[in-house]
């Protein structure tokens, strides 16, 4: 079965933690800090693979994670970086955030490779936090956390023209006549279960790519039949050829069919329904004299005043195909040639990432000691005597997680907290 959708869980690598250690050598009993930095976490990357045409590989394995960075070591040793993970997908794959449905990446056109989740930065070792007032820093920076997401992969085929119409109106026969595609053809409904792509080559004119969109029936936009499965594949098309059975071989009214299919397109995506169409009135070789007024002429009278040109064709004999294809080619050339792409709406780095503040909370005798480089810097420019400055200080303690750590250490109201030269009593 053609696999054009998948839901997977992806994760970048966590940054390795910085190391906290001190130089210890013979005759140097009190050496300075020498903790090394942690390694960077691996990136989670999507890449277009020309040899793939389905997402079947992602139906069997659902979880993918890049490598974590290694922790830093003694003697300023840097931790090893985590290994990147590259996920290969067919061209036309759109990656969406699972909960919101927002587009993260569209793997088409020039976008052949994209870093979707960046690995976390490695934490700094304690060697970086020595200052003139704090020569023995007892903390190192933790590595930046990994980013993780559940994403939906949707394959939307790359085609200039979409073939639409009810089942059994001759779309597959038409495609096999005008392109190099070899779709399965038989006289029963839903013969086509996969979107078929074909390239139309025209002498003296620019060719184009056609996609046969299978399974469209009334109610397709609500999930009835197979049409709901494949409607996404016409989202990139610039124009549509609407094939109808002009002979009414199954007792269907071709005029009514056009309105019903267009209603399904409008219900699925109004922008698609507004794109240019041309009607291919198929099976004219089966129209008997005297019946023409009831089918082909009715189509022309109904739709050509609306700007939708009607071409009588026969997929079997080839009658009218040349005129239709040259008309479509000329129409496409007058349109905006830029391929239809889906712009990024969800930015994982903005939505998921956060920076952990390096600090330590230790209980020493009857007080709690909090240390960290940013804390020292913040105290240097904050006026705690003013109401505004003290409010800022309280917010800083809460948002950085210092208050939470104090509570986890068992602090009680009235206990003393020490931050460098500042001491204060803790009250909720």
Per-residue pLDDT of 106-125, as tens digits, reads: 998 889 999 999 998 888 88
pLDDT (0 to 100) of residue 358:
67
Q: Within 13 A of 202's CA, how many CA atoms are on the CB side?
A: 17
Phi-psi region for residue 310, left (φ > 0), alpha (ψ -120 to 50) or beta?
Answer: beta
Q: CA 104, CA 260: separation in Å to the nearest integer?
A: 33
Count Cβ neighbours within 10 Å for each residue of 118-129 and write b for 16 or more, e otherwise. Answer: bbbbbbbbbbbb
CA 341 from chain centre, in angstroms, equals 12
- When pLDDT is cut at 50, 70 and 90, the band that residue 83 belongs to is very high
Query: What local confidence, expressed as pLDDT, does residue 288 receive?
Result: 62
Q: What percent of the chain has pLDDT over 90?
A: 15
Using the predicted structure, report yes or no on whether residue 174 has a pLDDT greater than 50: yes
What pLDDT is attached to residue 224? 45
Give residue for tokens 């602090």: 411
Nearest to 140 by CA among 353, 398, 371: 371
Taking CA atoms, 202 is separated from 25, 148, 198, 205, 332, in Å, by 81, 48, 13, 5, 13
302 vs 181: which has the higher pLDDT: 302
**What's the confidence (pLDDT) of residue 377?**
61
194: helix, strand or coil: coil
pLDDT tens per residue, range 345-382: 888 876 665 445 567 788 887 788 887 766 766 665 56
Alpha carbon separation from 343 to 304, 340, 352 (Å, rounded):
35, 10, 19
The tokens for 270 are 């109004």
State the chain's mean pLDDT as an integer.
79
Q: Output the pLDDT for position 60.
A: 85
What does the alpha-carbon distance between residue 198 and residue 175 come to, in Å, rounded to a whole number?
7
The model scores a pTM over 0.85: no
Q: Give the tokens for residue 3.
A: 């696999």
Collapse the DSSP code of 327 into the 3-class scheme (helix H, G, I; strand E, B; otherwise coil) and give the result. Answer: helix
């Amino acid at each position: 079965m053609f696999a054009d959708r998948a839901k997977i869980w992806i994760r970048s690598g966590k940054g390795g933690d910085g190391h906290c250690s001190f130089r210890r050598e013979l005759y140097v009993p009190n050496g300075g800090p020498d903790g090394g930095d942690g390694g960077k976490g691996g990136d989670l990357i999507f890449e277009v693979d020309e040899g793939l045409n389905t997402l079947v590989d992602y139906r069997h394995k659902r979880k993918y994670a890049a490598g974590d960075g290694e922790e830093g070591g003694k003697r300023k040793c840097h931790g090893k970086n985590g290994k990147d993970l590259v996920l290969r997908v067919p061209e036309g794959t759109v990656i969406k955030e699972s909960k919101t449905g927002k587009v993260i990446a569209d793997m088409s056109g020039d976008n052949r490779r994209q870093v979707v989740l960046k690995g976390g930065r490695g934490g700094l070792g304690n060697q970086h936090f020595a200052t003139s007032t704090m020569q023995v820093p007892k903390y190192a920076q933790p590595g930046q956390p990994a980013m993780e997401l559940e994403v939906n992969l949707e394959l939307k085929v790359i085609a200039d023209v979409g073939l639409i119409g009810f089942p059994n109106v001759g779309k597959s026969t038409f495609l096999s006549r005008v392109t190099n595609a070899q779709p399965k053809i038989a006289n029963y409904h839903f013969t086509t279960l996969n979107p078929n792509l074909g390239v139309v080559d025209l002498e003296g004119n620019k060719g184009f790519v056609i996609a046969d969109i299978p399974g469209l029936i009334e109610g397709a936009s609500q999930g009835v039949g197979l049409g709901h499965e494949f409607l996404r594949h016409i989202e990139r098309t610039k124009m549509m050829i609407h094939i109808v059975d002009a002979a009414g071989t199954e007792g269907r009214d071709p005029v009514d069919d056009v309105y019903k299919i267009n209603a399904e397109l409008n219900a699925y995506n109004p922008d698609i329904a507004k794109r240019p169409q041309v009607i291919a009135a198929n099976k004219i070789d089966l129209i008997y004299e005297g019946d023409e007024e009831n089918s082909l002429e009715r189509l022309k009278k109904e739709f050509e005043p609306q700007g939708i040109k009607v071409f009588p064709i026969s997929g079997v004999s080839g009658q009218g195909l040349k005129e239709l294809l040259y008309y479509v080619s000329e129409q496409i050339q007058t349109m905006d040639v830029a391929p239809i792409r889906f712009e990024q709406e969800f930015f994982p780095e903005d939505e998921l990432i956060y920076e952990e503040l390096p600090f330590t909370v230790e209980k020493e005798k009857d007080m709690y000691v909090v240390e960290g480089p940013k804390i020292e810097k913040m105290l240097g420019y904050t006026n705690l005597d003013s109401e505004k400055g003290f409010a800022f200080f309280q917010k800083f303690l809460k948002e950085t997680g210092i208050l939470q750590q104090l509570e986890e250490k068992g602090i009680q109201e009235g206990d003393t907290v020490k931050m460098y030269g500042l001491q204060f009593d803790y009250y909720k």
